Structure 1
Amino acid sequence: MKTKVSKLDFYKKAEDIFECYKNEPMAVFLDSSLENQLGRYSVIGLKPYLILKEEDGTFFENGVQSQGTLEAALKEYLNQYKEENPTSLPLISGAVGYFSYDYGRKFEKIESRHGKKLNMPEALFVFYDFFIIEDKLEKALYLTARGETEDADSGMQRLEEEIRSCRTAEKPDKHGNLASFVPNFSKEDYKQAIDQMISYIVEGDIYIANMTQQLTINSKKEPYEVYRYLRTYNPAPFGGFFQCGDFQIVSASPERFMQVKDGNIETRPIKGTRKRGETEEEDARLKEELRNSSKDRSELLMIVDLERNDLNHICEPGSVCVTEHFAVETYATVFHLVTTIVGKLRQGLSAVDLIPAAFPGGSITGAPKIRAMEIIDELEHDRRNLYTGSMGYFSFDGNCDFNIVIRTAVHQDGAYYLGVGGGITCESDLEFEYEETLQKARAVLEALREEE
C-alpha cells in the first residue's frame, strides 16, 4: 500500500488545527514550537488503525493479548510495510508513541521496589491512517493518508474541509504565577538522598547519576489548555501532546534522545542548567557561568562517553563521533549545555534496535548505566513512570526521532504528575541541586496555574 501525500493550497498553524482534534481517540501532536534548525515541522496523527502496547509485562495488539514483545511487533510491521518517503517531510506514514523509563528497566533486568502510581502502559505505539504536517519554514500544510480506516482520497478531502473550518485559537494570557504542588520528597529528604548518591560516587559505584523528585499538582485546567500555554511561553523543539483517553501527555522537552535519518544516527545529551537572568547582564553572566562550569562540563563529558559506548553497539565501527561539544542553548526559563553525537547505523539493523541498545538515555540515568539505575530505584521515592522515557515516531521509511521526556506532565483523574531532576557528581552542592529541580519545573508549574 502506497501512502498518498497532498500539499494544501492554504496555510494554518498546526496548534490551531489540533484544537479541532484534541479530544479525538489517540490523537497526537508532535510539536516543534521552538522554531530553529531542530524545529521545522509539527505533525498531527489521526485515526489509529493499529495500537500496540505493553502493560505490566503483557503485550497487547489492538486490545487483544498477544505473544511476543512490543519491539518485535514494531520491527515486523515497520519492515512489512516499508516504503520510501519521496518528500522532505520527516514522515508520511508510521507509528507515534512512547517508551516509559519503567519500560527501559526490563532491558537491564532491574526490578523496582515501588508500586505503580499511574494507570498507563509502560509502552504505547499507534499507527495512524492520517498525518497533518506543518512546515514552519515554508509556511505550508501537507496531508498524508494510507486508506486503512476509510478511502484515502475521500478521507483527505474530508480532512481538508475540516481544517479550513478550524478557527485560530486565542493566545493564552501570560501571568507568571506558579501552581502549588505536593512533592514526593521533603527538601531535607531530597538533599539527604543526593548526599547518599554522592557517597556512592565517592565509593566508586558510579561516576554520575540523575536524581529525581516528582510533583503532584491538582488542577481543573484542561490538558490541551496547559499545553497551549506551555508551547506559547516555553517553546521547545521536541514537545508534544498525546490524547490517550484516560490520560494525557503534555510535553515541552528540549532534548533529543535519538534520531535516525537515512541510516545516520544523532543523539543530543543535555547536562548542565542555569536559570535565565532578570536582566540582559545577568542573563549573559549566567550563560557564561554555565559554559565555563567545570562541574557541568565534566558531567556532560561522562554522559557523552556513556552514549558513545551505547551507539558503538549498533553503529558501523569508527563512525561514532562528537560533532558539537559544550554548546549552550537558550530556552524561556533556562540555559542548557548540550553535545551532539553521531554515528552510522550498522547494516542489517533497524531503528527499533536502538531501544534495547541505548534506552533509557544516559543523560537521565548515569554511568555506569545499570548500577546508576539500581541506585536511582533505591533512593527515589516512586517509579518514574513516563518521566525520562522517550516519545516520538518510527516511520515506514526506516527513520525515527525521539525526545527525552523531561519538562513533561502526565494528566490523569484531575491531577498532573511532573518529574524533575538533575545530574549528581561528587562536586554537587546539595542546595543548588534541589533548587535546580524547582527551576526546571517552573515552566510547567506556570502553565498549570489556574486563573484567580
Structure 2
Amino acid sequence: METTTERAEITPTLKDFLNLSRGPKAVPIFLKIPMGTLDPPSVFERVHEGRDSFLLESVKGTSQIGRYSFVGSRPFRVFESKHDQIRIREGLYETLIQGNPFSELRRLLQETPMVRMKGLAFFTGGAVGMIGYDAVHFLERIPRTARDDLQIPDLYFLFVDTVVVFDHVEREIILAHVPMLRRRPDAEEERVRAYNRGAEQLKALLQRVITPASKRAAQSDAGPKDFTVAANMGKEDYMEMVRRAKAYIRAGDIFQANLSQRLTAEIGDLDPFRLYKVLREINPSPFAAFMDFEGFQLVSSSPERLMRLHQRIVETRPIAGTRPRGRDARGDQAMSAELITNEKERAEHIMLIDLERNDIGRVCDYGSVSVDEFMALEEYSHVIHIVSNVRGRLHEKKDLFDLIRAAFPGGTITGVPKVRCMEIIDELESVQRGPYTGSIGYLGFNGDMDLNIIIRTFVIKDGRAHVQVGAGIVADSDPEREYLETLHKADALLQALKVLEDEGGLPAHGG
C-alpha cells in the first residue's frame, strides 16, 4: 500500500476557522497523510494538468536545507513579464499592463495576507515560479546589449491556493488550501462557504494523490535518438573571454567574475519530465525543480540556495570552489583536500561570503548578520563544492521584495563588485542569460520566501535543451582550467541526456 488515509481530517475545524478568519488575513486549511511509498515525482504525475504546473523538490539534503518538497497545478493566476510588458491571466481573462514587474508582483501578493498556523512552518500558498537573470534590469542600471536568442519571459509566476507538501523529516504529506475571501470577507456565511469549498477541494485532491496516474501511449517516434550537443562558443573563444576578464581585474575594475558558456542539444519531442526524473537520479540536489510553463520548461538540479526568508530570518548559502569527483573514495578525499587547502579557492570563497553578508546586511537588523556555517565541503554526483551559510534578521520595515532587490542575482554567479561584473558579463557573453543564474522558488502569502540559483539546469524550448555553465575568474585563473571547470559542471546534465539517448527517448509521462 502506498499510503493510508484513515486519519485524514481537515484542520482547523469549521468553528476554529471562523474564529481565526475574523481578521483581515486568510487562514489555510489542511489535512495530513503518511508519506508511505509516495514520492514527489509520482504525485506530480497524478495532480498536474497540462501546462503551468510545478515541482520544487529536495532530493538530497538535511533537515535544514532539504526538509520539504512542493507540488502544485491549476494556478488561479499566472503572472509573466518581458521588459516592462506584464501579462496576467486569471481563468478566461487576460490583462496586459506596462510597468515594473516587481512592483506589480508585490501588489498582487499583498492582496492575500495570511496568518501563520501552528504546525504549518512551510509554504502553503502564494506565487511559485522563476525570476530570470535579466530581471536585474529592474533592480540595477545594467546595459542590455547582449542578444536575446531564447525569448523567454523575465519573470513567470503561478499563483496557487492549493499545494501538496512533502515533509521528508516527519514522513508526511500535507495537502494545504487557502480559502479566498474576496467579496465579503467579514460575512460569516461567506466564510462558511469558502471553508466548505476548500474542504471539498482537498478531498478531491487527496483522491488524485492516492490514485496512480494513467499511462499515456508511447510516442510514435520513441526509437533511438541522437542528442547532438553544440556550444555557443569554442574553447579558444571561452579562454579569450577569461583573458579579457583578467585584464579588467588587473585594471582594478573587478576582483572576480563568473563567465559562462551555453551548450544546446536538439531533443525534438522528448518528454521534459522524463528528463527531470533521470536527472534527479543522476544528480540528487536539495533545490531541484521541474517547472512546466506555457512555452518552455525548466529542469533543474540546483545545489545552491540564493536566499530563504522564514519568520524574518534570512539565510543565503553561497557555493564557491569546485573540483570534479574522484574515481573512488580515496580520489574524493584527495580532491577535497586539494580544494579546501587551495589558496585561490579559499580567497575567492571568503570574498564571496563578504559580498553576501553585505548584500543581506542592507536589509537586515544591524549586527544580526553572521556566518553560521563556514567552508563546508558538499559532494554531488560529479563535483565537490565549498559551501557556507550566512544568516541575518530582516528589518521590521522590509519585506521579501526588499530582500530580492538587495541580493538578486547571487554574487557567486556574477562576481565582485556585483554591478560592475554584471556590466562586464553583458559585454563579454554573446547572449543574454535568460533563466540561467536567476532563481526558481516560492513567494508566500505569509511573507516567507525560498529561492534557488538556476544552475545545473536545462532550459527547454522549441525542441531544444539549453545548459549554461560558468566558472569564477580571478587574477591567477588559468583559462584552460576554467574552461574545463565549466564542462565538469555540465557532466551530470549531459549524462542524463546520454541515458535517454541510449534508451531511445522513452515515452511521455502519465497524466
TM-score of the aligned structures, taking structure 2 as reference length: 0.84
1:430: Cα distance to partner? 1.2
Q: Which deviates more from structure 2 when the two are superposed, residues 379-388 or residues 213-222?
A: 213-222
For 1:55 and 1:237, the matched residues in 2 are separated by 29
Q: Which deviates more from structure 2 when the two are superposed, residues 282-291 or residues 141-150?
A: 141-150
- Secondary structure in 2 matching 1:105: helix
1:92: Cα distance to partner? 1.1
The aligned runs of 1:329-340 (5 Å cut-off) are 329-340=378-389
1:26-62 CA-partner distances (Å, limit 9, x unpaired): 1000010114231111101221112222113212222
For 1:436 and 1:168, the matched residues in 2 are separated by 42
For 1:49 and 1:124, the matched residues in 2 are separated by 14
1:89: Cα distance to partner? 4.0
For 2:465 and 2:288, the matched residues in 1 are separated by 17
1:171-226 CA-partner distances (Å, limit 9, x unpaired): xxxxxxx9541101100110111011111101111000001001111114311011
For 1:41 and 1:441, the matched residues in 2 are separated by 26
1:438: Cα distance to partner? 0.5
C-alpha contact 2:112 2:445 (8 A) present in aligned 1:
yes
| Aligned counterpart, 1:377 | 426
For 2:264 and 2:35, the matched residues in 1 are separated by 42
From 136, 140, 154, the counterpart of 2:168: 136
Q: Does 1:347 align with 2:396?
A: yes
From 24, 28, 42, the counterpart of 2:54: 28
1:395: Cα distance to partner? 1.0
- Secondary structure in 1 matching 2:466: strand
| Aligned counterpart, 2:113 | 82
C-alpha contact 1:320 1:342 (8 A) present in aligned 2:
yes
| Aligned counterpart, 2:95 | 64
Q: Does 1:103 align with 2:139?
A: no
1:249-282 CA-partner distances (Å, limit 9, x unpaired): 1000000000011111000111110111112111
For 1:16 and 1:436, the matched residues in 2 are separated by 34
From 375, 400, 412, the counterpart of 2:449: 400
Q: CA RMSD in A?
A: 2.0
* Aligned residue identity for 1:108: E
C-alpha contact 1:218 1:416 (8 A) present in aligned 2:
yes
- Secondary structure in 1 matching 2:276: helix
1:317-362 CA-partner distances (Å, limit 9, x unpaired): 1111211211111111110011111111011111111122111111
For 1:21 and 1:412, the matched residues in 2 are separated by 23
For 1:430 and 1:165, the matched residues in 2 are separated by 53
The aligned runs of 1:169-180 (5 Å cut-off) are 180=228
C-alpha contact 2:46 2:211 (8 A) present in aligned 1:
no
For 1:356 and 1:212, the matched residues in 2 are separated by 23
Flag the structure with larger Rg.
2
| Aligned counterpart, 1:210 | 258
- Secondary structure in 1 matching 2:110: helix
* Aligned residue identity for 1:74: L
1:167: Cα distance to partner? 5.2
1:146: Cα distance to partner? 2.6
Q: Does 1:198 align with 2:250?
A: no
Q: Does 1:389 align with 2:435?
A: no
* Aligned residue identity for 2:247: S
For 1:57 and 1:10, the matched residues in 2 are separated by 43
For 1:157 and 1:88, the matched residues in 2 are separated by 19
From 197, 207, 211, the counterpart of 1:151: 197
| Aligned counterpart, 2:468 | 419
C-alpha contact 1:53 1:125 (8 A) present in aligned 2:
yes
1:106: Cα distance to partner? 3.0
| Aligned counterpart, 1:231 | 280
For 1:226 and 1:23, the matched residues in 2 are separated by 18
From 158, 165, 171, the counterpart of 2:211: 165
| Aligned counterpart, 1:52 | 79
For 2:398 and 2:35, the matched residues in 1 are separated by 40
| Aligned counterpart, 2:358 | 309
1:115: Cα distance to partner? 2.5
For 1:281 and 1:234, the matched residues in 2 are separated by 21
* Aligned residue identity for 2:240: Q
- Secondary structure in 2 matching 1:157: helix
Q: Percent identity?
A: 36
For 1:68 and 1:5, the matched residues in 2 are separated by 36
| Aligned counterpart, 1:270 | 319
Q: How many residues align?
A: 445
For 1:427 and 1:437, the matched residues in 2 are separated by 17
For 1:61 and 1:88, the matched residues in 2 are separated by 29
Q: Which deviates more from structure 2 when the two are superposed, residues 293-302 or residues 63-72?
A: 63-72
1:97: Cα distance to partner? 1.1
For 1:168 and 1:317, the matched residues in 2 are separated by 55
- Secondary structure in 1 matching 2:149: coil
Q: Does 1:183 align with 2:208?
A: no
- Secondary structure in 2 matching 1:242: strand
- Which ranges of 4 or more aligned residues in structure 1 deviate by more than 6 Å? none
For 1:212 and 1:9, the matched residues in 2 are separated by 43
**CA 1:243–1:361: 2 relative to 1, 3 Å:** same
- Secondary structure in 2 matching 1:411: strand
For 2:151 and 2:80, the matched residues in 1 are separated by 13
C-alpha contact 1:223 1:248 (8 A) present in aligned 2:
yes
Q: Which deviates more from structure 2 when the two are superposed, residues 384-393 or residues 38-47?
A: 38-47
For 1:16 and 1:394, the matched residues in 2 are separated by 24
For 1:57 and 1:358, the matched residues in 2 are separated by 21
C-alpha contact 1:306 1:367 (8 A) present in aligned 2:
yes
For 2:295 and 2:79, the matched residues in 1 are separated by 16
1:73: Cα distance to partner? 2.6
C-alpha contact 1:290 1:296 (8 A) present in aligned 2:
yes
1:13: Cα distance to partner? 1.2
* Aligned residue identity for 2:263: L
Q: Does 1:15 align with 2:41?
A: yes
